[in-house]
Amino acid sequence: MDRKVALRLKMHNIKNENIYPALILYEVMKGSKLVQGYVKLDENIYAWHLWVEYNNKILDVNRELYLLWAPGTVEKAWEYSKDYTGKLLDGYEDSENVYELYKSGKDIFWRNTPSKIKTVRQKIINSIKV
């Protein structure tokens, strides 16, 4: 399902737009769980990340988008974790802040989201029923 949502996002020229792809996947996948944690990108390098879990399986629409937009850049499997033991990459504070806004009120959050994202989100929700 993460691949299907990623293809829809790419069709609408959405790249890795902050955390919006993960939130859209989460809303499409009824009964899923949104997970905030970290991905291990290299030996001791971690990045803040948001993914969806469904039936004990990790669904990562952002990884799928990376694979679609830049094939070959994500060659090895990512390790997902709720903690990290190494160096945390900088630059993810905005994503964390956006996620906190989402958690504080989904209706207000989506009203203040860029219109392009809102439109694509609605098209995906209407076209994919899980």
Q: Give this prediction's pTM.
A: 0.86
The helix or strand, by DSSP H or E, that contains position 115, with its residue range, turns out to be helix 115-127
pLDDT, tens only, 63-100: 888 888 877 766 677 889 999 888 988 878 888 888 99
Alpha-carbon distance of 22 to 123, in angstroms, equals 15
Q: What is the DSSP letter of 42?
A: E
Residue range of the domain that includes 49: 2-127
The gap from C-alpha 85 to its chain's centroid, in whole angstroms, comes to: 22
Number of domains in the chain: 1
pLDDT, tens only, 3-18: 888 888 888 888 766 7
